[in-house]
Amino acid sequence: MKGDTVNKPCPRCGEVKRYSAFGRNQARPDGMSFYCLSCARERSRDYYRLKQERLGRSLREPDNSPEGYKRCSDCRVTKPLDAFHRHHTQFDGYNTYCKECRSRRGAETHLKRMYGLTRAELEALVGAQGGLCAICESKPAAHVDHDHVSGKIRGVLCFTCNVALGQLKDDVALFRKAIDYLERTTWQKTLESPGVYRLTSPRPAAAASSSSSALLRPPMTGRG
């Protein structure tokens, strides 16, 4: 075969190699590429790197992780392969980002797409609320609340308060009715004497009956 018997010099590395070490190029007189395959790959990488630098883009560093490991392109930490999701289009069959970084990046993408907020802006908003829900002020703020008409951000709520707004469809009139209902139906606790409370029904009809109130006494702690 021609590739086993004819040698050809590579002008880049200066080595004389067999034709089999060169790629095909029908445009050249000998039908072989000008550079050997190894040098051609290096030239291609150098050209790509130079082009990306001119565009101001960062380049991914080569991954020299041991077998069974992979370096995450985001956090730059080398982790076992089971820390990455499978991805059939990648040369090694695993996603470029580890599961943790992929989840975080997905959340940041959702935050930006849905609310127009960056992670830093969300953290600033939560910080202005003291880290607590803007309504109950007792649970951690974890869910962005926005006006469904204007799309404007109103605050950050806990799960319970966020669901409550959604269940009543942000209808102020319904919330007023709910408050009125609670004020009309919630039993009131009145102090009768030290340690003794009376539960009184707010319903006028129930207040007239003997079962409308009950005394609450502290439990006995010892024998009399």
pLDDT digits (tens, 9 = 90+) for 115-157: 999 999 999 999 999 999 999 999 999 999 999 888 899 999 9
d(CA 51, CA 73): 20
Beta carbons of 46 and 21 less than 8 angstroms apart: no
Q: At 74, list the tokens.
A: 């985001």
In the chain, DSSP finds a helix count (H) and a strand count (E) of: 7, 13
pTM score of the predicted model: 0.51
| Alpha helix (H) residue ranges in 55-186 | 99-115, 119-128, 159-167, 172-185
d(CA 13, CA 35): 9
pLDDT of residue 211: 47
d(CA 200, CA 205): 12
Strand, helix or coil at 210?
helix
Q: What domains sit in the chain, N to C, each tagged with a CATH number?
A: 2-54 (3.30.60), 61-116 (3.30.60.130), 187-215 (no CATH)
pLDDT of residue 221: 54
Residue whose pair of structure tokens reads 């007023």 in the numeric block:
176
According to DSSP, the residues that pair with 32 across neighbouring strands are 24
The letter for the amino acid at 153 is I
Q: How far is CA 155 from CA 24, 34, 69, 168, 179, in A?
A: 63, 64, 42, 17, 22
Strand, helix or coil at 74?
coil
Q: Each residue's pLDDT tens digit in the chain (224 positions)?
A: 454 567 899 999 999 999 889 999 999 988 889 999 999 988 988 888 888 888 887 766 777 889 899 999 899 899 999 999 999 888 788 999 999 999 999 989 989 998 999 999 999 999 999 999 999 999 999 999 999 888 899 999 999 999 999 999 999 999 999 998 888 887 777 777 887 877 777 665 444 444 445 555 555 555 44
Strand, helix or coil at 163?
helix
d(CA 70, CA 81): 6
